[in-house]
């Protein structure tokens, strides 16, 4: 049996497994309208997809903590009711997750989306069965930074007895790269998400297709990765 290059895999959700931008951006637009504020352009709203939402309320909208908390309440109610399933599974990602599971390679979600919402999405696409752990932001957003989510995912896998000598992160934004790097975890960057070419700095591989991702994980025929 060949030796796989990694002993555990952490997976981002938004922009990596599912294209969740339509549901997120529509709920953000609703939030701004409800709060009596101008709605940012579609291009600006796309910048919100991926990073922790409380960080974006602060950094992109300039909200203070009280306004951010109010905006979060408005956003969550609308998103859970109407936006959570306004998403599309990226081509081949069901096959990738199934292959990881069938290879016996421990797999954890590591998303800045609240765990309860992330589970709804994975259950909707019948993907939860492939994961050993579903790790996301805490419901109160005290754990939402990607570094904190990665730390919790690693902790849970460690408690489960997983070999963490060679873990890897799969994501589409610099937040994934930097958050994982804080725990000495390398990142495989997927280009079908919301990141820019500049965000690939520091990654161990850049992949354009599900087949290339499988190859980078040692689960498919070797192919070129950038």
- Structure confidence at residue 223 (pLDDT): 47
SS (H, E, C) 172-188: CCHHHHHHHHCCCCCEE
Asked whether residue 225 carries a pLDDT value surpassing 90, the answer given is no
- pTM for the model stands at 0.90
Q: Which has more pLDDT, 209 or 221?
A: 209
Q: pLDDT for 99-152, tens place per residue?
A: 999 999 999 999 999 999 999 999 999 999 999 999 999 888 778 899 999 999
Domain ranges for the chain, please list them.
8-19+88-216, 21-83
As a CATH number, domain 8-19+88-216 is 3.40.50.1000
> Which pLDDT value is given to residue 28?
97
Cα–Cα distance, 175 to 141 (Å, whole number): 16
Q: Which CATH number fits domain 21-83: 3.20.20.210, 3.40.50.300, 1.10.150.240, 3.50.50.60?
A: 1.10.150.240
Whole-number pLDDT of residue 25: 95
User: What's the confidence (pLDDT) of residue 124?
Assistant: 94
Q: Tell me which residue has tokens 């990073």.
A: 51
Instruction: Quote the DSSP letter at residue 110.
Output: E
Q: What is the mean pLDDT of the segment spanning 32-55? A: 92
Model confidence at 222: pLDDT above 70: no
Q: Average the pLDDT over 155-160 and give the result.
A: 98
Q: What share of the chain is helix, strand, coil (3-state, %, to 5)?
A: 45, 15, 40
The string of pLDDT tens digits covering residues 178-203 is: 999 999 999 999 999 999 999 999 99
Q: Beta strand 18-19 with 88-89: parallel, antiparallel or unpaired? A: antiparallel
Query: Cα–Cα–Cα angle for 16, 74, 177, nearest 5°?
Result: 25
**Backbone dihedral region of 184: left (phi > 0), alpha (psi from -120 to 50 degrees) or beta?**
left
């Amino acid at each position: 049996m060949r030796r796989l290059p990694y002993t555990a895999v952490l997976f981002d959700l938004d922009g990596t497994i599912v294209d969740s931008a339509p549901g997120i951006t529509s709920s953000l637009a609703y939030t701004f309208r409800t709060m009596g504020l101008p709605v940012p352009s579609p291009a600006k709203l796309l910048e919100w997809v991926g990073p922790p939402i409380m960080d974006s309320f602060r950094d992109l909208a300039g909200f203070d903590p009280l306004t951010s908390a109010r905006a979060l309440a408005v956003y969550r109610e609308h998103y859970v009711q109407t936006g959570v399933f306004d998403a599309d599974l990226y081509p081949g990602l069901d096959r990738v997750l199934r292959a990881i599971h069938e290879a016996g390679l421990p797999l954890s979600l590591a998303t800045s989306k609240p765990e309860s919402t992330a589970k709804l999405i994975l259950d909707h696409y019948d993907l939860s069965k492939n994961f050993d752990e579903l790790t996301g932001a805490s419901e109160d957003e005290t754990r939402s930074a990607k570094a904190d989510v990665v730390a919790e995912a690693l902790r849970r896998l460690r408690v489960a007895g997983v070999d963490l000598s060679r873990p890897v992160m799969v994501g589409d934004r610099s937040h994934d790269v930097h958050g994982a790097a804080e725990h000495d975890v390398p990142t495989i960057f997927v280009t079908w998400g919301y990141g820019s070419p500049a965000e690939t700095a520091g990654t161990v591989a850049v992949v354009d297709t599900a087949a290339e991702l499988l190859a980078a994980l040692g689960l498919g025929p070797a192919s070129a990765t950038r």
